[in-house]
Amino acid sequence: MNVAIIAPDTGLLLAVGYGKDIDPKAATALAALEVARKSGVRVILLDSVREELDGKLNEIAEVIPALQSAIRDVPNLDAPADLDAIEGIMVRAKAASPERVARYLDAIEAESVRACNANPNTPIREIIGGITGAAVTLLEVVRARIDGLRLELWKPKPDSAAVDGPLISGVTGYDFDHVRSSEALGRAEDTQVCFIVFEAKLHSRQQEVTRGYPHVVVTNPNYLPRYLTGGNTEDAR
């Protein structure tokens, strides 16, 4: 069965959204999607991936109210910037952040500290405004980069039979949903779906995936070019 559809995982799309300055996997993710497009295969956004992706983007959005809540505890926003106050705000914001966003906020905090040291009379309101603006910009940029991929969204038809396949050892939650969604897509299109994912957990379960979900192959982005040019599922691990 020839592969005609590529389905990227949520983590791969988020890497594209964050960009190489935040996520070192961004270049690999973009390269894999470019290889897929040049190969003439369809690149599909599974509905299960879209659902998980929306949740991840909402996690980024939650940083903004976390910052705003911490700001409300500052007694005088017009006072000169105070490093302890900024640190307290950032600790609370990062506690509500996904790991990659927390790293981004670390960089923003470092810039804020440099600004405070360069101009101790800068009002704390101005410093905090810059931090909040950076968080808003990050969310907008991540969304825009993912939207810019212009992926075709696929949803199973309401009357289509649900995929009832076996459990996969150690694979739960959205990862399992994505495998089943890929199988449903493969059955509907009568083709093989190549699900590309960074995480090694699914790669190590390739044989289980193949036995239970014959329309699906799980592939690491680094091995996608080899697979599309005739490699096998062993190459795709």
pLDDT tens column, 158-199: 666 567 778 788 888 999 999 999 999 999 999 999 999 998
Q: Domain 3-57+148-228: which topology?
A: Rossmann fold (3.40.50)
Pairing of strands 152-154, 42-46: parallel
End-to-end CA distance of the chain: 18
- pLDDT-wise least confident of 49-53, 64-68, 221-225, 228-232: 228-232
Residue 140 has pLDDT above 90, yes or no: yes
Q: What is the pLDDT of residue 13?
A: 97
pLDDT band at 144 (very low <50, low <70, confident <90, very high): very high
Query: 25 phi and psi, to 5 degrees?
Result: -85, 0
Task: Report yes or no: 142 and 57 within 8 Å, Cβ to Cβ.
Answer: yes
Rounded CA separation 79/121 (Å): 8
156: tokens are 């199973």
Q: What is the pLDDT of residue 231?
A: 59
Structure tokens at 224: 């996608």
Pairing of strands 3-8, 42-46: parallel
Mean pLDDT rounded to a whole number for the chain: 85
DSSP state of 231: -
Token look-up 């960089």 returns 107
Tokens 């959205």: give the residue. 174
Contact 6, 194 (CB under 8 A): yes
Query: Does residue 15 contact residue 201 with C-beta atoms inside 8 Å?
Result: no
The predicted pLDDT at position 142 comes to 94
What per-residue string of b and e applies to 49-58 under the rule 16 or more CB within 10 Å gives b?
bbebbeebbe
Which residues does residue 3 pair with via DSSP β-bridges, in sequence order? 192
pLDDT in tens, 91-112: 878 887 788 788 788 888 888 7
- Rounded to an integer, what is the distance from CA 200 to the centroid of its chain? 16
pLDDT of residue 99: 82
Tokens of 183: 């199988």
Question: Order of strands, edge to edge, in the sheet holding 42-46?
Answer: 152-154, 42-46, 3-8, 192-196, 216-219
Give the start-to-end residue ranges of the domains of the chain: 3-57+148-228, 60-141
pTM of this structure: 0.84
Q: How much of the chain, in percent, has pLDDT values that exceed 90?
A: 37
Q: Provide mean pLDDT across the span 118-124.
A: 83
